Amino acid sequence: MLHPRMLPKCIAAIVLWLTTIALGIVDVYFVRQIFFGLYARVSRAHQPAILFGDVIVVLVAIGVVAFIIISTEFHRQHFCRHESWDVFAWTLVVQLAIPFIAVFIV
């Protein structure tokens, strides 16, 4: 039985979990933009950039799916505990850093 005092904490954990999943999906786009920004600085040929960009999208998407599966299992086992909140904090730092890097590189 869930204690009424724990309800806001559990709702916040679920909202953070869904937020990290959404940010992971959005970060796939930003990683591709980071690649295009870096590639544009070193080369002018656009054909390889499109191919490499598509490969990077597939690899990052596979990584995001793996992250979603692994983090879901971790948060299921450590739901509303200190370990889960630490993982949320680190995940949000990394996932929010990627768009900021994309803004400053591109």
pLDDT in tens, 42-65: 988 888 899 999 999 999 999 999
pLDDT at position 80 is 83
Over range 68-78, report the average pLDDT. 92
**Which are the contacts of 90, defined by CB distance < 8 A and separation ≥ 6?**
none
Across the range 17-43, mean pLDDT stands at 94
Is 90 exceeded by the pLDDT of residue 67?
A: yes
pLDDT at 26: 96
For residue 71, what pLDDT is reported?
93
